[in-house]
């Protein structure tokens, strides 16, 4: 078994084809494995030869650029491209970076036809590459990091937003108990538990006092809307975490399931529409946009489409779900800042992202006071 050391590349073979499909989509840039995340590729190749169906080798390992949480790698072997996701090295917060949960939910959803990459194997032996990891297919298609989809025809822009909306609604119509995920989290009282969790996570990674965050800690528990639902909540449902078909406005894979759990579906909705309300964070460039000219639905139109697909009359208290999403994202950003201090954040700009925690908390508190 031979292992080929990675050569510096701008894009992987499949990512290079993404650029050819559309100038609007950003390629998935890969390069050599960073020193901080390097592992024994010979040992990995030996493990894959014994455990990965259809493995032919030789193996090339490269690392995807970006990503604040779980380091992600491009594996090339026998003419096919795969993705490996692992825990980051170093001291980690409890329950964070649960790649085994990612693997489990992807397998279950893929079995019922939901658009996710095919998951091949989970390795729970940390002696192979230093942490547990899983391997899945690299899905060809387009990934858009700018929610305004610049340079695109308005009709296609609107169709892509509608496809994202449909994928979110489809997820929320799946019964987790029917697909073996009834124990994927605790059913019921999702917001109470999540608020408590992210307060604890924030306190564990706190680097400075943030007044707006403290006010949110008081406001959120007493503002939870009545009623409860349990579905699979993705936790990071946004355009950037989807692979769009190379030539059609269709979602072919939803990515990054690290934060998924049994939860309230409207938590995903609040996060997904956050860009309509805030100035930082995912999908943050939408304030003041001419939606009609762009072909992008307004927030009201987008939420109405989701309601039609899921059989809801309407969503009351939408602002609460958006504030909760901002609150949680601020806590996540603070965790990134702490990992940057400890030296185990997976992205080089983690320190800068962590500094956005205060801004996000301030934005959330302003919305809460409306």
Query: Which pLDDT belongs to residue 95?
Result: 56
DSSP string covering 239-277: GGGEEEPSSSS-EEEE---TT-EEE-HHHHHHHHTGGGT
For strands 3-4 and 59-64, give the pairing.
Answer: parallel
Domain ranges in the chain? 3-137, 154-368
Query: Which pLDDT belongs to residue 347?
Result: 59
pLDDT in tens, 206-242: 877 789 989 999 999 999 999 999 999 999 999 999 9
The DSSP letter of residue 73 is E
Q: How far apart are CA 259 and CA 247, in angstroms?
A: 29
Query: Which pLDDT belongs to residue 335?
Result: 83
pLDDT averaged over every residue in the chain: 86
Fold of 154-368: Aminoglycoside 3'-phosphotransferase; Chain: A, domain 2 (3.90.1200)
Give the E-state strand segments of 163-240 in sequence order. 231-233
Q: How far apart are CA 255 and CA 240, in angstroms?
A: 9
Query: Which pLDDT belongs to residue 204?
Result: 86
This prediction has a pTM of 0.85
Query: Which pLDDT belongs to residue 209?
Result: 79
Half-sphere exposure of 317 (CA within 13 A, CB side): 12
Q: How far apart are CA 306 and CA 162, in angstroms?
A: 9
Query: Which pLDDT belongs to residue 344?
Result: 62
- The 3 state secondary structure assigned to 37-61 is HCCCHHHHHHHHHHHCCCCCCCEEE
Q: How far apart are CA 88 and CA 39, in angstroms?
A: 12
Query: Which pLDDT belongs to residue 345?
Result: 60
Tell me if domain 3-137 and domain 154-368 are identical in fold: no
What class does CATH assign to 3-137?
alpha beta
Q: Give the residues of the chain that fall short of pLDDT 70.
A: 1-28, 66-68, 90-97, 279-287, 343-354
């Amino acid at each position: 078994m031979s292992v080929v050391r990675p050569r510096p590349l701008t894009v992987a073979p499949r990512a290079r084809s993404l650029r050819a499909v559309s100038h609007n989509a950003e390629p998935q840039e890969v390069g050599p494995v960073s020193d901080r995340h390097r592992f024994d590729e010979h040992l990995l190749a030996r493990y894959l030869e014994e455990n990965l169906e259809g493995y032919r080798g030789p193996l090339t390992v490269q690392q995807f650029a970006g990503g604040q949480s779980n380091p992600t790698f491009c594996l090339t072997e026998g003419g096919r491209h795969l993705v490996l996701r692992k825990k980051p090295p170093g001291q980690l917060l409890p329950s964070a970076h649960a790649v085994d949960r990612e693997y489990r939910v992807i397998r279950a959803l893929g079995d019922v036809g939901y658009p996710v990459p095919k998951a091949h194997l989970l390795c729970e032996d940390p002696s192979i590459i230093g942490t547990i990891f899983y391997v899945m297919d690299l899905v060809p298609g387009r990934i858009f990091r700018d929610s305004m989809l610049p340079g695109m025809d308005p009709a296609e822009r609107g169709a892509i937003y509608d496809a994202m909306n449909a994928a979110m609604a489809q997820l929320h119509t799946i019964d987790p108990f029917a697909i073996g995920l009834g124990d994927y989290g605790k059913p019921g009282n999702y917001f109470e538990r999540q608020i408590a969790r992210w307060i604890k996570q924030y306190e564990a990674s706190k680097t400075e006092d943030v007044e707006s965050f403290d006010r949110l800690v008081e406001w959120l528990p007493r503002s939870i809307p009545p009623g409860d639902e349990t579905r699979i909540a993705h936790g990071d449902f946004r355009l950037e975490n989807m692979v769009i078909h190379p030539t059609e406005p269709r979602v072919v894979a939803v990515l990054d399931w690290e934060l998924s759990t049994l939860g309230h579906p409207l938590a995903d909705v609040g996060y997904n529409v956050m860009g309509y309300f805030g100035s930082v964070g995912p999908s943050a460039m939408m304030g003041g946009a001419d939606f009609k000219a762009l072909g992008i639905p307004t927030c009201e139109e987008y939420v109405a489409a989701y309601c039609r697909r899921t059989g809801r009359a309407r969503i009351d208290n939408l602002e609460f779900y958006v504030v909760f999403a901002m609150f949680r994202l601020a806590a996540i950003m603070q965790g990134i800042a702490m990992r940057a201090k400890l030296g185990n954040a997976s992205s080089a700009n983690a320190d800068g992202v962590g500094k956005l925690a205060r801004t996000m908390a301030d934005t959330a508190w302003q919305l809460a006071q409306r």
